[in-house]
């Protein structure tokens, strides 16, 4: 009798063990059926080979190492300095399998291609090996540039050719150089849309008027660029400020997107708390 009782107890324990394992497997399968991690976001400015922001419809093609593809549209300015965004589904990595074929895990390789019309481009920033994706819920800010970069300095050959002369080659034109001596680097002028071979064509912010009501500033806005203005009382701490555009005083702006090349006059209202303090202004362009 004791042996029978022992066998029954052992059999009962094993049965419970099997049931418990099956329950755990079942629960795990259910939880893995849902997106287990927040998206990873890529965003930035997509520019052509001359530095002009892409304003027409373009397809952003995100390609995983498994050649699965996620698509998004570019061309619309979401905010200053950003005309494309793409959200990539992320897997928490709890199991070997992805919850969706195009989901990514941390450090998985990827490439981004750009399709405009029938032509597909690999941005200069992504030449070479696959990049590795970052953490779920985070954002990677990365500008994308079309064109060729034969000398590998990060600037398109087409834009650099405008600076050739006096025996210089593409390898002699570097992003950090100031080819025209106007205080702006070649890369700064590429982004702003100014000529890097003309010292009189640099990015300028001029004070036109200043009185108790505020300050009038003037600058040349170039197509496709987004402009913001920052203010400081001591040249150390800067903050972005709102402004109005001359001719439209009822509309307050935090930024200005230029749809054409135009000379713009903006008004900075006098500060209510310290209207007589010295102020410094800085023009930012993306």
- Dump pLDDT digits (tens) for 135-167: 999 999 999 999 999 888 888 999 888 778 767
Vertex 181: Cα angle to 256 and 152 (nearest 5): 80
Residues 43 and 140 in one domain: yes
CA pair distance 249, 93, nearest whole angstrom:
54
Residues 216 and 249 in one domain: yes
Domain region containing 186: 157-201
Tens-place pLDDT, residues 172-185: 888 898 888 888 89
Tens-place pLDDT, residues 50-99: 888 998 889 999 998 778 889 998 888 888 889 999 999 999 888 888 88
Residues 176 and 115 in one domain: no
Q: Is residue 15 part of a domain?
A: no
Residues 262 and 166 in one domain: no
Q: What is the pLDDT of residue 144?
A: 94
Q: Is residue 180 part of a domain?
A: yes
CA pair distance 140, 55, nearest whole angstrom:
21
Residues 140 and 103 in one domain: yes
| Tally of domains in the chain | 3
- If one counts every other C-beta atom within 10 angstroms of the C-beta of residue 184, the result is 20
What single DSSP character describes residue 255? Answer: -
Q: Is residue 225 part of a domain?
A: yes
Reported pTM: 0.74
Q: Is residue 219 part of a domain?
A: yes
Q: How confident is the model at residue 10 (pLDDT cuts 50, 70, 90)?
A: very low
The CATH number covering residue 278 comes to 2.60.40
Residues 231 and 280 in one domain: yes
Q: Is residue 170 part of a domain?
A: yes
Tally of residues, the chain: 286
């Amino acid at each position: 009798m004791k042996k029978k009782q022992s066998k029954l107890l052992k059999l009962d324990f094993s049965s419970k063990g099997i049931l418990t394992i099956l329950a755990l497997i079942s629960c795990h399968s259910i939880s893995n059926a849902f997106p287990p991690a927040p998206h990873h976001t890529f965003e930035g400015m997509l520019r052509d080979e001359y530095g002009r922001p892409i304003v027409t419809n373009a397809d952003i093609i995100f390609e995983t190492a498994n050649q699965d593809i996620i698509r998004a549209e570019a061309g619309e300015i979401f905010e200053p300095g950003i005309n494309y965004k793409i959200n990539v589904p992320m897997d928490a990595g709890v199991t070997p399998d992805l919850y969706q074929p195009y989901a990514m895990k941390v450090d998985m390789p990827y490439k981004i291609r750009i399709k405009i019309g029938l032509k597909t481009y690999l941005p200069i920033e992504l030449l070479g090996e696959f990049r590795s994706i970052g953490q779920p819920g985070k954002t990677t800010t990365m500008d994308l540039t079309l064109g060729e970069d034969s000398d590998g300095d990060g600037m398109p050959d087409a834009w650099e050719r405008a600076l050739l002369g006096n025996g210089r080659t593409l390898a002699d034109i570097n992003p950090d150089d100031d080819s025209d001596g106007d205080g702006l680097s070649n890369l700064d002028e590429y982004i702003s849309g100014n000529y890097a071979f003309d010292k009189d064509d640099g990015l300028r912010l001029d004070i036109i008027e200043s009185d108790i009501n505020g300050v009038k500033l003037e600058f040349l806005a170039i197509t496709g660029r987004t402009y913001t203005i920052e203010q400081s009382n001591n040249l150390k701490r800067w903050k972005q400020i709102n402004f109005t555009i001359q001719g439209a005083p009822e509309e307050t702006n935090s930024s200005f997107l230029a749809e054409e090349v135009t000379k713009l006059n903006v008004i900075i209202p006098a500060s209510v708390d310290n209207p007589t303090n010295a102020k410094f202004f800085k023009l930012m362009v993306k």
